[in-house]
Amino acid sequence: MKKIYSLYLAGSIKLWKKEFKKRYSKFFNHKIKLFEPGEMNIPDDHRLITRRIAQKDRSKIEKSDAILVYMKNYKPSKFGGPAGTDSTWECGYAHGIKKPIIAIVEDLNHLAYFESQWMLTFHISAYITDNKIVVEEILKTAHFRDTTIIFCKSKELFEEKICEYLYKIN
């Protein structure tokens, strides 16, 4: 098995700061080098982001083994714009260059978000969760029928299970 995989995290910087960093960041960077765009100190007002940042993000997607998605409903910033459009672009670009896309799903509300995002949903390669109820619902829903489901007993196993999945598909 490959020792270190490289993943690009697609998701809102706001959600990364508020949720992902506290809940998940600590479980990565042992067997997976996870690029978290929020570490680049991207300004809250996205109108101030430079071309260099966008080019670096694109380059990181191109060099990654897969994309890890942490997207869900949230209130957009005070600067306006719909939530998640940049993340959706990242996922679409990754799909276009044939990168596997792995989405974290925490609960049924989170699953409902993906179900409503049909263009994203139908192009996700795998869903990863530590919630048995989510797995049961995925198995019943046509949107997810042809997608791999990675179930972990705890978030601490996400990195290991993602490595196993990437090894299996490559």
pLDDT in tens, 15-35: 888 899 999 999 999 999 999
Cα within 13 Å of Cα(27), Cβ side? 16
Q: Each residue of 61-117: pLDDT tens digit?
A: 999 999 999 998 766 666 555 456 778 889 999 999 999 999 999 999 999 988 888
Non-local CB neighbours of 136 within 8 Å, separated by 6+ positions: none
Please state, in angstroms and rounded to a whole number, the distance separating the CA atoms of residues 132 and 106: 10
The CATH number of the domain where 83 resides is what?
3.40.50
Region 145-149: mean pLDDT is: 89
pLDDT higher at 13 or 108: 108
Q: What is the pTM of this model?
A: 0.92
Please state, in angstroms and rounded to a whole number, the distance separating the CA atoms of residues 158 and 21: 14
Q: Tokens for 140?
A: 């019943």
The domain tally of the chain equals 1
Q: Tokens for 89?
A: 């672009």
Q: Domain of 135?
A: 5-169
Q: Report the chain's mean pLDDT, rounded to a whole number.
A: 89
| Sequential DSSP letters for the chain | --S-EEEEEES-HHHIIIIIHHHTGGG-SSSEEEE-GGGG---SSGGG--HHHHHHHHHHHHH-SEEEE-----PPPTT---TTHHHHHHHHHHHHTT--EEEE--SHHHHHHHHH-HHHHTT--EEEES-HHHHHHHHH-GGGTTSEEEE-SSGGGHHHHHHHHHHHH-
Q: Each residue of 38-59: pLDDT tens digit?
A: 888 777 777 788 888 889 999 9
pLDDT score recorded for residue 169: 94
Phi, psi of 26 (to 5 degrees): -65, -15
pLDDT score recorded for residue 84: 64
